[in-house]
A and B are shown apart, each in its own frame.
Chain A
Amino acid sequence: MRVLDVLSLSTQAIARNKLRSFLTTLGIIIGVASVVAMVHLGQSATRSVTERIASIGSNLLFVMPGTSLRGPGAVRTSAENFDLSDVDAIRREVDGVEVAPALATTARVVVGNANDTIPVLGTSNEYLSVRNHPLDYGRAFESGELSSGASVCIIGKTLVDEMFLGQEPLGATIRVGRTACRVIGVLSEKGESMGQDRDKTILMPIKAVQRRLVGKLDVSVIYVSALVDGTTKRVQSQIESLLRQRRRVDSGGVDDFYVRDTQEIAEALESTTNTLTVLLGAIAAVSLLVGGIGIMNIMLVSVTERTREIGIRLAIGARARDVLNQFLVESIVLSTLGGIIGLLLGVGGTWLLTWKLDMPFVLSPLIMVVGFSFSVAIGVVFGFFPARKAARLNPIDALRHE
């Protein structure tokens, strides 16, 4: 028997029962679609997380006071804060770095009639490059403004839009807490990150924030950016030994500060989303399996229903293997069709969802190939038992079947 004839026999049988064939493949369609969609969505989520972390700044280290357990978002106990002399020490002692101190607080901000509570960050010009958040227009702080702690500020896009309502902010004076503050620059737009509006911010010289807003000479975080790729580890250990020395941590003692690498955070988050992806994919794979059982079920019914037809075929010269092939190919064609439709639905659904959720759309050929081959394999595995049942029929019994 010619291969093409087997195929056409099987497709004829499928076409003869269109609704049933569709319902039979529905399980596979849903299974493949959910596997493909879940894994693709997982990968999109991973990509979106890593992209956002990259947007925080590359080769970036956070230096913070306190003791930390490993892992992102770990517990921190309080410890003595840094001050600007620590920042200067790092600038002086560690090579190939850019250092930005930061002191974060919030303040009541008044612009004309508008007022709102806004996060204020005292820092230096290095912040703009270290945190990868450049100016859109206007200018950075002048060295005199930095050393004197002048009342000048650089504002984020959200303030321009929501408080200035499109008026020219440069040169305007706004109230930050009790201080009248002149706007000298506007930050470029960053968008939202981890549920935070990164454009709803005000930058001021750190000394201004220390004196006028917080009333302490603290530095809450030091941002350090390694200028050369691949040197963050070296930089990290240099900072650690420098700070241990400055903060008199005994060798073998527990550090009362910690240095965190954004790369590390990215990897940790990535592995979390990857685990989630695998989990969701596995759950979806179960539905694919259920789809396979659906095919087997219908094929078994179909074999019983078509027993007489099988008898006729055997009488006119079909061998057991011809009958086996016919039914096996039928279930493979069904599951393959289901796989193709499921693949299209899965990719389309992912595209729609990522578009709605504003996530990057990642297309993974690997998972598409895997999902598709899985559906074909399911046709083979779950079609085999019914097909064998058909092939084992005795011609006389089959012909007598009513």
Chain B
Amino acid sequence: MSDGYGEVRESGVPPTIVELCDVYKIYGRGATEVRALDGVSLTIRAGEFVAIMGPSGSGKSTCMNIIGCLDSPSAGQYIFSGVDVGTLGRDERALVRRHFMGFVFQSYNLLPRTSALSNVELPLVYEGVRPALRHRRAVSALAAVGLADRQAATSAELSGGQQQRVAIARALVTEPPVLLADEPTGNLDTVMAREVMTQLTDVRRERGVTIVMVTHEPDIARYADRVLLFTDGKLVRDGTPAEVLA
């Protein structure tokens, strides 16, 4: 399950890609203050498959959004690939997302009334890729998730598992080094969840993508090679699935 990672390890320790140093995310003030993240420090190395677990409201999504540059910490430092994200402007963070991050959400977040193919092409549109080339890349990204024959289908015409696979194709079409998935199987039954997880482990094996995935389910977390356990905005345990889930 960790072939890609293992190969890299043989030639030395892979570089750190994500580094959070004492990160806080605080909502509200005074009595209503909520510490969604309460002093979190962690590092993730390139090629790792990390699962984030924890009870509801423990700050899993908040942490992932900060890693994905969708959100900024209230305090603390986030270093991505050696760059202090805190010093970046709005547009620069957008460019980090564009070139380095792929997102998969629990609720799929495909554009409504838009074909699967157009959804997958969209990140390439923002990259400014020429239509012919981006069409070709979107077609092969869809084929890679096993949906070559559903290019024209809109989200209303796809099952949950198929929608999530379109979302994975969209997240990966720009070939980002990092894939962020917030409860990607949360809305899926076991069969479809297994399909999606197979998809994720496949791309990881083929491309060595770093995956950070939030999940509630221990079965899903076992696909990862490392589990971070959050409680009340704090990182309380960090280890292999076997250690943490024991």
- Residues of A at the B interface (CB closer than 8 Å) are 1-2, 5, 9, 16, 308-309, 311-322, 395-396, 399
Contacts and interface: CB of A to CB of B under 8 A. Distances in A.
A321 B111 CA distance: 19
Given A309-B111, A396-B65, A320 B94 contact: yes
Contacts of A314: 70, 94, 97
Of listed B98, B99, B130, residue having the most chain A CB within 10 A? B98
A1 B128 contact: yes
B174 A317 contact: yes
Nearest to B98: A317
A312 B102 CA distance: 11
B170 to A, nearest CB: 7
B174 to A, nearest CB: 7
Given A1-B128, A2-B128, A5-B125, A317 B94 contact: yes
A17 B68 CA distance: 33
B109 A319 contact: no
Nearest to B105: A399
Contact of B71 (A1, A308, A322, A396): A396
B70 A319 contact: no
B70 A395 contact: yes
Contacts of A311: 109
A320 B90 CA distance: 8
A322 B126 CA distance: 8
B230 interface: no
Contacts of B65: 396
B121 to A, nearest CB: 10
Interface of B: 65, 68, 70-71, 90-91, 94-95, 97-99, 103, 105, 109-113, 122-123, 125-128, 130, 170-171, 174
A12 to B, nearest CB: 8
Contacts of B70: 314-315, 395-396, 399
Of listed A16, A309, A315, residue having the most chain B CB within 10 A? A315
A318 B91 contact: no
B208 to A, nearest CB: 21
A319 B96 CA distance: 10
A225 B192 CA distance: 99
Given A1-B126, A309-B112, A395-B70, 9 more contacts: A2-B125, A2-B128, A5-B128, A308-B109, A315-B68, A317-B95, A317-B127, A318-B98, A399-B70
B103 A316 contact: yes
Contacts of A317: 94-95, 97-99, 123, 126-127, 174
Tell me what chain A mostly uses at the interface: helix, strand, loop, or mixed: helix
A226 B105 CA distance: 89
Contacts of A316: 97-98, 103, 122-123, 126, 170-171
Contact of A321 (B91, B97, B112): B91
A9 B126 CA distance: 11
B125 A1 contact: yes
Contacts of B91: 319-321
A275 B130 CA distance: 54
Contacts of B174: 317
A382 B217 CA distance: 49
A308 B105 CA distance: 13
Contacts of A315: 68, 70, 97, 103, 109
A310 to B, nearest CB: 11
A328 B215 CA distance: 39
B105 to A, nearest CB: 7
CB-CB nearest 7 A-B residue pairs? A317-B98, A319-B94, A316-B123, A317-B126, A395-B70, A319-B91, A396-B71
B111 A312 contact: yes
Contacts of B71: 395-396
A110 B65 CA distance: 102
A2 B121 CA distance: 14
Contact of B109 (A1, A2, A16, A399): A399
Nearest to A316: B123
Nearest to A315: B103
Contacts of A399: 70, 105, 109
Of listed A312, A313, A317, A318, residue having the most chain B CB within 10 A? A317
Contacts of A395: 70-71
Contacts of B111: 309, 312
8 contacts: A2-B125, A5-B128, A312-B109, A315-B109, A316-B126, A317-B123, A320-B94, A399-B70
Nearest to A318: B126
A5 B99 CA distance: 19
A321 B91 CA distance: 8
A9 B91 CA distance: 20
Contacts of A308: 109
Contacts of A2: 125, 128, 130
Contacts of B99: 317
Contact of A318 (B94, B110, B112, B113): B94
Contact of A313 (B68, B112, B122): B122
Contacts of A309: 111-112
Given A396-B65, A399-B70, A319 B128 contact: no
A33 to B, nearest CB: 32
Contacts of A319: 90-91, 94-95, 126
A317 B71 CA distance: 14
